[in-house]
Amino acid sequence: MANETKMRKYFQYPILTVLGMSSMTFSACSGLVDIYDELTVQDTASSPYRQLHVTATTYDDWTYLTLDNPDSTVVLPIPTTLNSGEWDGVTSYTRQEIKLGSTTELSSTPTDAQPEPERWDLAFHHFDIRTNGGMAFETEYTSLDQLPAHWSDIPGIEWQADQTTKDRVWIDLSNSLAFNIGCQTIDISLPLSNMAWMDVSNPPPIYNVSGHVCLLRMKDGTVAALFLDNYMNEKGKKGYLTISYIYPYE
Amino acid sequence: MTIRSLIFFFAVVALAHHGAKATTFVTSADGTTTQPADTAYSDWSDKGIDLDIVVVTATRTPKPLSKSPIPIQIISANDIRKTDATNVQDILQRELPGVEFSYSMNMQVNMNMAGFAGQSVLFLIDGERMAGETNDNIDFERIVANGVDHIEIVKGAASALYGSSANGGVINIITRDLADGTEWTLDADGRIGSHGERRYALNWGVRRKTLANKIQLSYHGSDCYQVHSKRTEALPLIFDYVPGQEVYNVGDRLTYQPHERVKLTGRLYYYYRQMVRKQGESEHTRYYDYTAGLRGNFRLGKRDMLEVAYLFDQYDKTRYYVPSQLAVSDRDVREYSNVQNSVRALWTHPVEQGTLAIGTDYLYDYLVNIKLGNAHYKQSSFDAFAQYDRSLGDNWEVVGALRYDFFEIGHRSQVTPKVSLAWHREQFKLRTSYGMGFRAPSLKELYYDFEAMPSWYIDGNSELVPERSHNFTLAADYAHGAYTYTLLSYYNRISDRLTTGVPRSLADGAHLAYTNLRQMSITGGEASVQGRWSSGWRAKLAYSYTNEHNPDQAPNQFMPARPHALNYNVEHSRTAGSHYSWSAILSGRWLADVHNDEYRSTQHPEEGIMRVHYPAYHLHTFQFVQRWDDYISLTFGIDNLLGYKPDNYFYNAPLTTGRSYSLSLHIDIDKAYRHWK
């Protein structure tokens, strides 16, 4: 960003910065205001790639969509009790004590299976992503532009199916200051979920992004390439995902 | 205290006692310094306890320390240099037993001095306020040791002279100036240490006839690292990482003295800090400050003095999105800005047997913060004060001050008085004072609207009233032979203390709102003894006691003050030939354990309150300083000499993972040039 480059120059020439301040146009009452960047999210309308925008700011539901029609989403709540009487053997409500470097399971209670729509490809819960029977792989590419013409030309692909996690899908952060977090035990795609990562083990949250393109192989064998463009809206609120993708990626 | 620490303390005392065998009178109470008979040691340019040092903070008028009617503590330039400290935090903790720095969420720093949190202690730089806050504490990284000449500390309420936030005391940072008659100075400083600690600084001063200019540059940084607690139960107020940071401070001060009666000073200052909490995080918090000031000092008539000053101070916090392929990457977005414009005037007029000081200040305070719903708030405040300082005979001195403050928001007014009485005879000095203090609620405390975590909010409270305190102080100083003794006792009665109150559970989560506590008191005292002997030994022992009494039993927002604390310093200096000298310095501090009542979960107050025990600890530092020809010094330091490692990293635990090492080099280039020339 141009302004950041400008700021770096300030650091390189600190005396000029200080002296230059005196000649800047500013209101003495509200101070220097034009020296920072605006949080305007990059205009992606001209992007050569398709994009999906998911609002996943809440913690108690999953948002489902298909890559064919990503604007049509279905939001379904996360069950926290077992009302059906039949446990699928995985889905649970688990309380974890999560701290940097250590996770301790405090309790785990079986719940109903996570409800799903009839047709979906991906499900989003904040930064967590599930696939509908698909497999994923995190490449070393940092842009969709870098991808070869065919996914089969990418060397060293090791597909990963969704895996059961007990401490990744946070559904109750109301006691997070005591590091006591309610989680859903459920299968998620780790390569896709690691595209953005929020660490609440020592509040406030710390955000990380992988910056890598991920491949998704659907259960019908078709492949998509996905890249996380952003995880916030224009006001800086987290949980607004923008993902550019190529589908089908031959 | 463990057996090992007791043995260690006995060893320190024995060492000091050994050094005391050959004592020679060095410093007298009236400030005269005599040369010791034995000159086989290096005093490292130390003039001992300099009672002639001119202090300004106690009465806002220049006065020799020995004549100050109000108790004032000095951390001298020499003390600061010996600490090899990087910032004011290091200096204060090493020199003052009642000062402790602890942490809060996001590892923001909070100071406690004699039971008053950082928001109730007014920090000044050359008498001027600093904009910006975090947890209502100033950004301590703005005050780097490199530019500090000495620090003046007035404990107890001083609002009659300084207004809001001076109810627990005033810490005035006096920066280094170009000494009279000096044509140019240039010195460089560097330090490296454990956890990637690095520090580089440069000071350059030039004088040409009526103009003098001084530039100060400094950079310091450290890496982030993890710490691991052994806790066996859920304890919320602990941390698991120590953030890394990069800090730049750049200052320039230009002085123009066209006439002996007129002195104009302009200054510019730039500050940048970036905090890195974890390697690979995609967002960093950055802090900036831009300051520009102009001050005129005028001598009117024979002895009248007039000081007029204007200061612009802007303190910003930004969120920096680390360069990546993200749509918002490499952007530096402002989230907080506090802009203060202040104008002040002070007229001092000598009268028979005393001085009359009359002053006024105007402050325009502007705040924009995304945690205020991205709104901006502004407030004007105005004050006027007068102080009369008068000698009564040869042994008595009395000071009376009265101040009126007006705040635009709520149209609040505040009148604060202060009276001090001092009596001295030869080497003994007795001082007593009553002062009132207050702290007006900040714009943040009035209007905050912040979702700190999902389902956890911190709310402002527009109904807040100012916190007030009544402070009574009794102090005694006595100098005899090589020793100086000081005693200070105080009582503070505080009403409407501003803090966060009882969390409330609402539909969208827990809300923690600012509130006024009803009443509390703080009783305490300090005692110190220091000695300096001709054999090259010097020692200092200081103890502080603090007792917070809070009948409301409201859980403390921050870490409580430790009831007992002890600081010591023992050093020995020698010369070897005419070009080389060395000093060995052992210093340390011990802080007693303390209990605190806290919510089991601030997000779920219904779970009740628990009593948390914060253990005692002691840390010791050894430094070996070598000097060549008085212009190069090399310091090797071992921090945490005994390798203390906290079992649990509570917010008030020291930031240590065990013994650590540092090496620093200081070169006075101007002195080297003159030496070789």
Instruction: Specify whether the CB–CB gap between B659 and B641 falls below 8 A.
Output: yes
Instruction: Read off the amino acid at residue A14.
Output: P
In the sheet with A214-217, reading across from the earlier edge strand, the strands are A50-55, A238-246, A223-232, A214-217, A135-138, A160-161
Range of the domain at B413: 3-676
CA angle in degrees (0–180, nearest 5) for B175-B180-B186: 65
Give residues with Cβ within 8 angstroms of A242, minimum separation 6: A41, A44, A51, A52, A53, A228, A229, A230, A231, B327
Mean pLDDT of B316-339: 88
Per-residue model confidence as pLDDT tens digits over A141-186: 999 999 999 999 999 999 999 999 998 899 988 777 777 889 999 9
Substitution target from B328, B334, B372 for chain A, most A beta carbons within 10 A: B328
Is the pLDDT at B362 greater than 90, yes or no? yes
Per-residue model confidence as pLDDT tens digits over B147-187: 899 999 999 899 999 999 999 999 999 998 888 788 999 99
Instruction: Read off the amino acid at residue B258.
Output: P
Per-residue model confidence as pLDDT tens digits over B623-641: 999 999 889 999 999 999 9
The predicted pLDDT at position B40 comes to 32
Mean pLDDT of B576-581: 90
Instruction: Specify whether the CB–CB gap between B521 and B491 falls below 8 A.
Output: yes
Q: Tell me if A11 and B378 make a contact (CB, 8 A cut-off).
A: no
The predicted pLDDT at position B130 comes to 95
Strands (E), chain A: 50-55, 61-65, 74-77, 92-99, 102-110, 122-125, 128-131, 135-138, 160-161, 163-172, 180-188, 196-199, 206-209, 214-217, 223-232, 238-246
Strand-pairing partners, residue B59, are: none
What are the boundaries of each domain within chain A?
Answer: 1-37, 46-88+115-165+187-246
A175 → closest Cβ in B270, B368, B603? B603
Per-residue model confidence as pLDDT tens digits over B279-317: 888 899 999 999 999 999 999 988 899 999 999 999 999
Give chain A's mean pLDDT.
85
Total domain count, chain B = 1
B217 → closest Cβ in A14, A30, A31? A14
Q: H-helix or E-strand containing A156?
A: none
Q: Tell me if A178 and B603 make a contact (CB, 8 A cut-off).
A: yes
**Residue that wins the pLDDT comparison between B329 and B311:** B311
A14: chain B residues, CB-CB within 8 Å = 217, 248, 250, 270
The CATH number linked to B52 is 2.40.170.20
Q: Tell me if B332 and A37 make a contact (CB, 8 A cut-off).
A: yes
Quickly state the pLDDT bin for B45 (edges 50, 70, 90): very low
The predicted pLDDT at position B50 comes to 60
Q: How far apart are the CA of B10 and the nearest CA of chain A, in angstroms?
A: 40
The predicted pLDDT at position B128 comes to 93
Q: Which residue of A has its CA nearest to B242?
A: A202
The predicted pLDDT at position B106 comes to 79
Q: How far apart are the CA of B177 and the nearest CA of chain A, in angstroms?
A: 18
Substitution target from A6, A26, A37, A199 for chain B, most B beta carbons within 10 A: A37
**Cα–Cα distance, B412 to A58 (Å, whole number):** 42
A177 → closest Cβ in B278, B326, B603? B603
Instruction: Specify whether the CB–CB gap between B530 and B567 falls below 8 A.
Output: no
In the sheet with B121-125, reading across from the earlier edge strand, the strands are B73-75, B148-155, B169-175, B121-125, B128-129
Q: Tell me if B278 and A206 make a contact (CB, 8 A cut-off).
A: yes
Q: Tell me if B325 and A201 make a contact (CB, 8 A cut-off).
A: no
